[in-house]
């Protein structure tokens, strides 16, 4: 392989997402990973609807569905109960939008699948791309950033041999202890070490049959012994068990994991084979800066938060997508001088909002729900359980019904989005109302032939014509050709699109977000210049923007 144009440090989901975006656009990239990534504890189990839409765009959504050890039709149900053999307190159906029934809100349902399985699918796809090379057992030693390149020193962990790699850009997707972050002098700000927790991976083939709450993807056990969260990792008895803060103040990581599982589930004689014990600490941290001129941080290297809501890995994959298309555009000459600077401008507000939501979710874990008499028999116990159940239904809905966050994230204040004067969508963690306001994710729609509207978007920009013929897009096609900007014109002829998008024309970015919408295309050149980062951000209030919706 020729010298890489981009070095990606970290071969988890975030680094692989970035490599796929780059590789699919013909950019040579080298992905290095210090670990072998085999047998990693699957803290992440939720691949949300937005990430699944990216997988669909890459052509591997079905591959993940086939690879999953969790049956795709397993009910996407979350149950709260005192214990696996105790009374139920509340339940959430279609949690995390994992039911496979089609909806116009999104193109792919969420999937409950261990992170290591997702990584295998992403890794196989990345390795299949001609310009992508993956090296495991190699770690970053240092970075020296020059005018036109970055010189990275890498060390083979097995032999100790070192080598230099020269690249135009470096992406640090190397996790919470990021060597790339340290190399560029970025600091994590916020609250660390919120509380200690432990994740136990274990095998117990009899557990499902002995539980009384039916199939689901997550079981929250609310009791005074071991408040905990249990979830299946396959259909044959492999489970993940998370013990959060214990009511008596003891550190769950210091206790016997078998005893934790038996006490938490209530199945005191359950046969348990412990495979891995993974202590971890919840954090609320964000980097003070995400980049230098040629080095960028993504995923946990840039932001950390409690894993309640299933946001972390998915948000990091979104970082990889954003960086991937912008770096590719810059390397291929059609990205303007302001394009890469928009990475932090767009992603930081999304991170801050999501981190705040995850902290709220973490503030109501199992031990906060325990009340005296919760497991009593008779009227006292029944009344207490009804009270706790109502609290759960009212407060935890924002953790398990999250479309407002997952699909409602927008880049309305971005310097590469042309505003149209319309009000920003109301913020809600749970409620998502499709909007084509510039900066928002383009609204989805299933078309009459059974395909997704998203299936017809191009790998570059897409000019969507919602009414009339493709001829209306001619000024955009000419402007794009003159600038070397990849542009597809899409005119589905579906009458539902005009009211859904609120304009006759809509410019959709490579990541599926709206860059501009309007009634006519006479300012196509200025609009494209802004969207590709080629215009002065101060010029966003030009006539092109002001006339966009007239």
The CA distance from 456 to 476, in Å, is: 18
Question: What does the alpha-carbon distance between residue 198 and residue 536 come to, in Å, rounded to a whole number?
Answer: 49
CB 374 within 8 A of CB 405: no
From residue 283, alpha-carbon distances to 172, 214, 356, 396 in Å are 19, 33, 12, 20
DSSP secondary structure string for all residues of 374-416: TT--HHHHHHHHHHHHHHHHHHTHHHH--HHHHTT---TT-TT
pLDDT mean over 65-87: 96
Q: Which residue has the higher pLDDT, 131 or 540?
A: 131
The SS3 call for residue 126 is: helix
Q: Is the pLDDT of residue 549 over 60?
A: no
pLDDT for 548 beyond 70: no
Give the pLDDT score at 522.
Answer: 82
Mean predicted confidence (pLDDT) in 105-130:
97
Q: Could you count the other beta carbons within 10 Å of the beta carbon of residue 160?
A: 7
Comparing 25 with 544, the larger pLDDT belongs to 25
List pLDDT tens digits, range 50-75: 999 999 999 999 999 999 999 989 99
Greatest alpha-carbon span in the chain? 78
Q: Where are the domains of the chain?
A: 6-70+111-189+286-360, 411-546
What's the CA gap between 541 and 546, in Å, rounded? 7
Answer yes or no: is pLDDT of 316 > 80. yes
Contacts 24+ apart (CB under 8 A), 345-351: 345/413, 345/414, 345/415, 346/322, 346/411, 346/414, 346/416, 347/290, 347/302, 347/318, 347/319, 347/322, 348/286, 348/290, 349/413, 350/315, 350/318, 350/409, 350/411, 351/286, 351/302, 351/303, 351/315
pLDDT of residue 162 exceeding 50, the answer is: yes
Q: How far is CA 285 from the centre of its chain?
A: 17
CA distance 33 to 134: 8
For 482-540, write each residue's pLDDT tens digit.
Answer: 999 999 999 999 999 999 999 999 999 999 999 999 998 889 999 999 999 985 433 44
First-to-last C-alpha distance (Å) of the chain: 51
351, 302 contact by CB (below 8 A): yes
- Per-residue pLDDT tens digits for 528-547: 999 999 854 334 444 333 33
* Residue 330 three-state SS: helix
Structure confidence at residue 41 (pLDDT)? 62
Q: Strands 514-518, 505-508: parallel, antiparallel or unpaired by DSSP? A: antiparallel
Backbone angles phi, psi at 435, to 5 degrees: -145, 140
Nearest in space to 465 (alpha carbons), one of 545, 385, 521, 546 = 521
Which pLDDT does position 541 carry in this prediction? 41
Query: What pLDDT shows up at residue 253?
Result: 74
**Strand ranges, E, within 233-302:** 238-243, 273-287, 295-297
Q: For residue 16, what pLDDT is reported?
A: 98
Tokens found for residue 159: 């032999």
Provide, rounded to the nearest whole percent, the portion of the chain with pLDDT above 90.
Answer: 83
Instruction: In whole angstroms, give the CA distance from residue 398 to residue 95.
Output: 10
H helix or E strand, kind and range, residue 189: strand 188-203
pLDDT of residue 550: 33
Please, which pLDDT band fits residue 248 given cuts at 50, 70 and 90? low
Architecture of domain 411-546: 3-Layer(aba) Sandwich (3.40)
| Contact residues for 480 (Cβ-Cβ < 8 A; gap 6+) | 461, 486, 487, 524, 528
pLDDT at 468: 87
Residue for token pair 């980062």: 533
The CATH architecture of the domain made up of 6-70+111-189+286-360 is 3-Layer(bba) Sandwich (3.50)
Q: Which of 409, 446, 436 is nearest to 105 (CA)?
A: 446
How far is Cα 515 from Cα 534, in angstroms, rounded to an integer? Answer: 13
So what's the pLDDT on residue 539? 42
303: which 2 tokens? 């932001």
Q: What is the pLDDT of residues 460-486, one digit of tens each?
A: 999 999 998 899 999 999 999 999 999
How, if at all, do strands 78-81 and 138-145 pair? unpaired
CA 64 vs CA 10, 47, 445: distances in Å: 21, 10, 23
pLDDT tens for residues 296-311? 999 999 999 888 888 9
pLDDT (0 to 100) of residue 542: 40
Q: Work out the average pLDDT over 233-262.
A: 86
Average pLDDT of the residues of the chain: 92
Residue 286 pLDDT > 90, yes or no? yes
Q: Which of 141-150, 226-235, 261-270, 364-373 has the lowest mean pLDDT?
A: 364-373
């Amino acid at each position: 392989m020729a010298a890489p144009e981009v070095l990606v440090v970290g071969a988890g989901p975030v680094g692989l997402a970035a490599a796929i975006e780059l590789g699919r656009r013909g950019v040579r990239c080298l992905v290095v990973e210090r670990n072998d990534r085999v047998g990693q504890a699957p803290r992440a189990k939720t691949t949300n609807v937005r990430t699944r839409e990216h997988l669909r765009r890459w052509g591997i959504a079905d591959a993940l569905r086939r690879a999953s050890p969790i049956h795709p039709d397993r009910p996407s149900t979350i149950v709260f109960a005192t214990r696996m053999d105790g009374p139920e307190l509340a339940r959430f159906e279609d949690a995390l939008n994992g039911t496979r029934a089609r909806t116009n809100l999104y193109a792919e349902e969420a999937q409950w699948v261990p992170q290591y399985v997702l990584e295998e699918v992403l890794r196989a796809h990345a390795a299949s791309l001609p310009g992508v090379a993956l090296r495991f057992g190699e770690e970053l030693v240092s970075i020296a950033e020059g005018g036109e390149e970055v010189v990275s020193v890498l060390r083979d962990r097995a032999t100790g041999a070192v080598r230099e790699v020269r690249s135009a850009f470096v992406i640090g997707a190397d996790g919470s202890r990021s060597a790339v972050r340290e190399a560029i002098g970025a600091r994590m700000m916020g609250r660390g070490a919120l509380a200690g927790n432990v994740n136990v991976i274990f095998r117990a083939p009899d557990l499902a049959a002995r539980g009384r709450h039916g199939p689901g993807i997550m079981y929250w056990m609310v009791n005074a012994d071991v408040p905990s969260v249990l979830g299946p990792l396959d259909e044959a008895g492999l489970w993940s068990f998370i013990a959060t803060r214990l009511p008596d103040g003891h550190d769950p990581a210091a206790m016997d994991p078998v005893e934790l599982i038996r006490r938490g589930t209530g199945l005191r004689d359950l046969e348990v084979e412990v495979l891995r014990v993974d202590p971890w600490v919840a954090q609320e941290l964000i980097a003070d800066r995400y980049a230098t001129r040629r080095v960028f941080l993504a995923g946990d290297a840039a932001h950390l938060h409690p894993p309640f809501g299933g946001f972390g890995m998915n948000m990091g994959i979104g970082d990889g997508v954003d960086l991937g298309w912008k770096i590719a555009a810059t390397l291929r000459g059609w990205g303007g001088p302001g394009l890469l600077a928009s990475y932090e401008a767009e992603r930081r507000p999304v991170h801050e909002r999501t981190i705040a939501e995850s902290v709220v979710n973490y503030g109501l874990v199992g031990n906060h729900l325990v009340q005296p008499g919760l497991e009593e028999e008779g009227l006292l116990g029944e009344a207490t359980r009804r009270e706790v159940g109502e609290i759960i239904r009212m407060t935890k809905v924002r953790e398990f019904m999250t479309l407002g966050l997952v699909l409602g994230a927008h880049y309305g204040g971005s310097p590469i989005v042309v505003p149209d004067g319309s009000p920003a969508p109301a913020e809600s963690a749970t409620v998502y109302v499709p909007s084509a306001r510039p900066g928002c994710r383009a609204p989805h729609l299933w078309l009459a032939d059974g395909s997704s509207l998203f299936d017809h978007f191009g790998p570059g920009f897409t000019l969507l014509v919602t009414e009339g013929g493709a001829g209306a897009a001619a000024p955009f096609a000419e402007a794009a050709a003159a600038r070397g900007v990849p542009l597809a014109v899409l005119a589905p002829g579906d009458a539902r699109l005009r009211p859904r998008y609120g304009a006759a024309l809509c410019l959709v970015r490579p990541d599926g977000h709206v860059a501009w919408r309007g009634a006519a295309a006479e300012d196509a050149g200025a609009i494209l210049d802004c969207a590709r980062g080629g215009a002065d951000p101060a010029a966003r209030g030009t006539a092109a923007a002001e006339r966009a919706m007239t």
